[in-house]
Structure 1
Amino acid sequence: MSSINQTARQKDGGGGPVVSASTDVVPAPDRFDWWAEMVGTEVMPVTIRSPHAPRFRGSVEAVGMPHSQVAAFTFSPMVARRSPQQIRRHDPEEYYLVLVHGSPIRLEQSRGVACLGSGDMSLFTTSAPLVCDFLDRGRQSRLTLLRLPRTVLPLAGGRADRLLAERLSTRAGSGSAALLGSYLSGLPAAARDCGPAELARLGEIGVDLAATVLAGRLDAQDTLPPETRKAALRTRIKVFIEQNLGDPELRPTAIAAHHHLSVRSLHLLFRNEPETVAAMIRRLRLERCRRDLADPASAARTIAATAARWGFRHPADFSRAFRKAYGFPPSEVRARERAGARAPDAHHVCARC
């Protein structure tokens, strides 16, 4: 677990995979100094200035994973600078991907200058002087940082340095950059109930997506390890499945064709996953149906219409699959919801059946 989690726990009393810290627990006169010390210790030594120093506010949610870390920051506007002297004193030799959520940021490092708006990403390193200016003096800044030690980023020879302070947009469709943006935005919420194994898996997904985005920008995809390319492709396929669950034609053949794969290659890609592609589709559809059946806002929709909404062609097939997965019929979910009782706990869906 990273040191940012340790600091957050000391300040906030939190625990678990997601740990929060806030200036609200610090006396008002000490908040800016505490924030500056926290950033210098937990991210990297920098010098910060802020016109809001007397009334500074900031908060952070950090998710520590075995080989990376994601931290979401909200704070009063400021300017951060990292000098050659600070680098000589301490350089953890790490990269950071920054994703901007709100007010714009100007990032300057090496020969690059990036003006980043909401939805933009950029790369910077702890090993070169840096200027980061949060431009909107009237709004709090919001960003997410993905920490990537040089040793875990599979781009040899310092190739990633060519991308320092370059704008990377997450808005282009369903490509790897868009997936990485969604991953960074949603990770704190997704990680709250994760065990160690699932948390490690989430960390691997982030590293693989980041490597794929950077390699694509460098036109160096072929230099990535095969497993990194496969992992990024699996993530794209899983997102495609979730986005198209309502299509009754969503089958392995259609998924393979959309991603320019043979069906055999698709099955090989998921060979070591916990469930087959078909089992994943069925599980996700059943989960969506169960959620809708338990939702009072969907009470006017019939069970058959709910099943059709999530890609089941025939109500009888849906009822059999639901009972097999959960051990009770779909009508019981709705009956218990109307009676104000909770449906029985679900049995695990067999991943290979």
Structure 2
Amino acid sequence: MLPESTFRSSALQPGERFECWRALMSETHAPMDMRSEHAADFWVNQRNISLGEVTVYPLECHPLTFHRTAKLIRKSDPEAYHLSLVKRGTGMVTLGKETLVHSVFDYHTSDTSRSFELCTGPEPFEVIGVEIPKALIPLPPRAADQVIGKRISARDGMGALLATFLTQLAADSHSYQPADGPRLSTVLADLIASLFAGVLDADRSLTPESHRRTLTLRIKAFIRDTSDDPRLDIAAIAAAHHISVSYLHRLFRQEGDGTTVAGFLHQQRLARAHRDLSDPLRQGVPVHVIAAKRGFRHAEAFSRAFREAYGMPPAAFRKQLLAFERA
């Protein structure tokens, strides 16, 4: 499991919750002041997931205002960027003379070296936040600084890819080992840099290594989303990303985990079929129909692949699962 800490206000008396959390936030390495009209009955749930130098922090709370003042900056400045995916509610950010309202599936950004105020809307607020040192973003500092305060969507493109990564990381943090933290932080830095570069239309600012890793992540997301299409093959995947088949193979080889393009596609299809066969609501769906739905052209080939992956044919797996549930 990744190193993680949790603050849940329900563990405290209602009258103590806001001041306790406010005191904790004022003593972090990027301290902020806070105020809320719900201080008397405040609730907040926050997790801090450590990836080494990078922290991911899922947060939900009552409406409030965060304020990073010049005085607090002088007290402590870790020289980091904050980027938050809004999952629920709205937030109005004032950065210098600029004010911008963020809603669900937007990102709001801030810089620990610059004063800002974030005022959430009247409803509960939920985000998945990231604190990342500026030095880890593979972009020229002047370029990255220009992104802070701009409107960024999480609905498509790199914004959607980053949102998927953050959501899965927050949901499955227990499934990773501490040794996975540095690799996850590198992936996250590349995704944020690619998002920033897209906002600036400055892809040339990315390092070749960041380009490669980000392209590979984009390709894997594409395969996950389209694996049900029986026409999807290596050539189609390469064509969809305007690269050659040989370069596609090279990208997967450079990942270093031994997974091939065909192997990754095969894994996605098998995993989806496995979930379907495990679903009681689909127990009446014939095995060959599930196989076809998940991109397998031939039922025999599917049965053979399923047996190799899970130790028994799909029909036997379903029969065993149903017998276990009835026992």
Assess same fold via TM > 0.5. yes
Which of 62, 66, 69 is 2:55 aligned to? 69
Match of 1:12 in 2: none
Superposition deviation, residue 231 in structure 1: 1.0
Superposition deviation, residue 16 in structure 1: 4.9
- The answer on 1:207 being equivalent to 2:189 is yes
Which of 16, 34, 45 is 1:30 aligned to? 16
Q: What secondary structure, in the 3-state scheme, does the structure 1 residue paired with 2:265 have?
A: helix
Aligned AA for 2:210? T
Check whether the contact 1:176–1:232 (CA below 8 A) recurs between aligned residues: no
Match of 1:293 in 2: 277
Aligned AA for 1:228? S
Instruction: Please report the TM-score for the alignment, with normalisation by the length of structure 2.
Output: 0.94
Match of 2:312 in 1: 328
Deviations 1:136-167 (A, max 9, x none): 2xx21111211110110112233222122211
Structure-2 change in CA distance of 1:341 and 1:76 (3 Å): closer
- Worse-superposed segment, 332-341 or 278-287: 332-341
- The answer on 1:187 being equivalent to 2:164 is no
Structure-2 change in CA distance of 1:152 and 1:16 (3 Å): closer
Superposition deviation, residue 341 in structure 1: 6.0
Structure-2 change in CA distance of 1:326 and 1:193 (3 Å): same
Check whether the contact 1:18–1:188 (CA below 8 A) recurs between aligned residues: no
Which of 231, 236, 258 is 1:254 aligned to? 236
Superposition deviation, residue 121 in structure 1: 0.6
> Once superposed, what is the RMSD of the aligned Cα atoms?
1.7
Superposition deviation, residue 110 in structure 1: 3.4
Q: How does 1:127-206 map to 2 (within 5 A)?
A: 127-136=113-122, 139-172=123-156, 175-206=157-188
Superposition deviation, residue 111 in structure 1: 4.3
Structure-2 change in CA distance of 1:63 and 1:121 (3 Å): same
Superposition deviation, residue 42 in structure 1: 3.8
Aligned AA for 2:74? R
| Matched pairs, number | 324
Q: How does 1:1-353 map to 2 (within 5 A)?
A: 16-42=2-28, 44-136=30-122, 139-172=123-156, 175-273=157-255, 274=257, 275-340=259-324
Structure-2 change in CA distance of 1:168 and 1:251 (3 Å): same
Check whether the contact 1:76–1:140 (CA below 8 A) recurs between aligned residues: yes
Structure 2 Cα separation of the partners of residues 263 and 163 of structure 1: 34
Structure 2 Cα separation of the partners of residues 115 and 31 of structure 1: 27
Structure 2 Cα separation of the partners of residues 265 and 180 of structure 1: 24
Aligned AA for 2:124? Q
Superposition deviation, residue 101 in structure 1: 1.5
User: Which is bigger in relative contact order (C-alpha 8 A, separation at least 6)?
Assistant: 2
Q: What secondary structure, in the 3-state scheme, does the structure 2 residue paired with 1:107 have?
A: strand
Check whether the contact 1:296–1:337 (CA below 8 A) recurs between aligned residues: no
Structure 1 Cα separation of the partners of residues 98 and 213 of structure 2: 30
Check whether the contact 1:87–1:128 (CA below 8 A) recurs between aligned residues: yes
Structure 2 Cα separation of the partners of residues 62 and 311 of structure 1: 39
Instruction: Please report the TM-score for the alignment, with normalisation by the length of structure 1.
Output: 0.87
Structure 1 Cα separation of the partners of residues 28 and 277 of structure 2: 45
Unpaired segments ≥5 residues, structure 2: none
Check whether the contact 1:17–1:191 (CA below 8 A) recurs between aligned residues: no
Superposition deviation, residue 316 in structure 1: 0.6
Structure 2 Cα separation of the partners of residues 43 and 118 of structure 1: 28
Superposition deviation, residue 78 in structure 1: 1.0
Superposition deviation, residue 185 in structure 1: 2.6
Percent identity over the alignment is 34
Check whether the contact 2:2–2:173 (CA below 8 A) recurs between aligned residues: no
Structure-2 change in CA distance of 1:328 and 1:65 (3 Å): same
